[in-house]
Amino acid sequence: MRKYCRYVLIMITLIGVIMTLGIGTAQAAKKKSLIKLPAANKATFMIMPELPKDNIGGKQLGYFNLHVKPNQTKTVRIKVYNPTEHTINIYGQTKDASTNDNASVDYLGSHPVDKKLLKQPGSQLVTVPKKTSLPAGATKRIVIKIKTNDSFKGTKATAINLSANQFNQTSAVKNAYRYAIGLILNGQSVKKNDYRYLQSPSIKTRFTKAEKAAISIKLNNPDPMYLEKAKIKVKLQNQKWQFIQYTTTVKNGKIAPNTSFYVDLLLGGKRLVPGTYSMTLTTQNNQYAKTLHKDVLITASQAKYINSLNAAYLRNRNWILGGVAITLVIIGGIFFRVHRVRKRKRDLHAKNGK
């Protein structure tokens, strides 16, 4: 009987090993087949900017960075290739570069242009075909025309956005595929005497896209020039309670010309205290270093709103209140015990005295 059981166990083990090997082989074959899928089924179209010889930064830069003069006309080209088995339509747009919160540049047109800062957008100087039909396996050149006006100066940052629909094997539309190719137009450099420097027109309290409570400082770059390798430090010091302050630092930021954005002072688990604050804004970049001092106000309603919804602060507050309550209970217990000991001693002395 024992011998029979032993054989049964051996057979079960062998079957398990064979099944495991079979599953492992099937998974390996599946992975191998996925790896062998042609890239043409994944990418709708491919691009290659044909950078001119005088491209600032050279041809290895990957985007157009051009010298231009007032009232000048230029033409550049982007080569596009269709690796699929379908005719596709490539749609072209020109977008003005903007600055994301906390200082990084966006070329996809995610933010609206501030017309007070950018009165003459670079996108108005650039013409790209709205639609280009590209047959299967074909290569074409999309021609972009640039014409500056007589008031052009400084730098205008734009991007050529090319997009097309992506197809699956049944030719049904799956999703959009988009490229953003930078097109930077550089006119005569802004003189140092004409710098307007980074400005801070306002602040607000809010929850960021990541749902984090913050004091957000609005910053404007009113100059038609990139601010690169930017270090921005903001400090808010409560004028009544000197120990209350909020600070943040942005390192190696990049700010597009004539754009606005916010720098967030994340509160974390701190309570936001209303009152008047002294703000110190220090900026250092590839163009200049500047320090700005300003008084700002955080109202009681702003503070109440943020504090009531700031989960990190509420969690800390509850821990603190809980800790205080426990401490009070312990102290109360100690006093009660001491009181009882003293009462017993008094009663004992009174009894012995009799």
The segments of the chain whose pLDDT lies below 50 read 1-41, 169
DSSP 192: G
Per-residue pLDDT tens over the stretch 247-286: 999 999 999 999 999 999 999 999 999 999 999 999 999 9
Would you state the pLDDT for residue 125?
Answer: 96
Of 49, 47, 69, 70, the closest CA to residue 60 belongs to 49
Would you state the pLDDT for residue 35?
Answer: 27
Would you state the pLDDT for residue 36?
Answer: 30
Would you state the pLDDT for residue 323?
Answer: 65
Would you state the pLDDT for residue 32?
Answer: 31
Q: Let me know if residue 21 belongs to a domain.
A: no
Q: pTM for the full model?
A: 0.75
218-to-90, 198, 260, 328 alpha-carbon distances in Å = 37, 10, 7, 44
What Rg, from alpha-carbon coordinates, does the chain have?
Answer: 33
Hunting for tokens 């029979």 — which residue is that? 4
Domain boundary among 189, 217, 249: 189
Do 161 and 179 form a contact (C-beta atoms < 8 A)?
yes
Per-residue pLDDT tens over the stretch 286-325: 999 999 999 999 999 999 999 988 876 667 555 555 666 6
Asked if residue 205 and residue 181 are part of one domain, the reply reads no
Asked if residue 241 and residue 161 are part of one domain, the reply reads no
Would you state the pLDDT for residue 119?
Answer: 92
Would you state the pLDDT for residue 336?
Answer: 66
3-class SS at 143? strand
- 303: domain range? 193-311
Domain CATH for 283: 2.60.40.10
Domain boundary among 172, 189, 206: 189
Would you state the pLDDT for residue 150?
Answer: 87
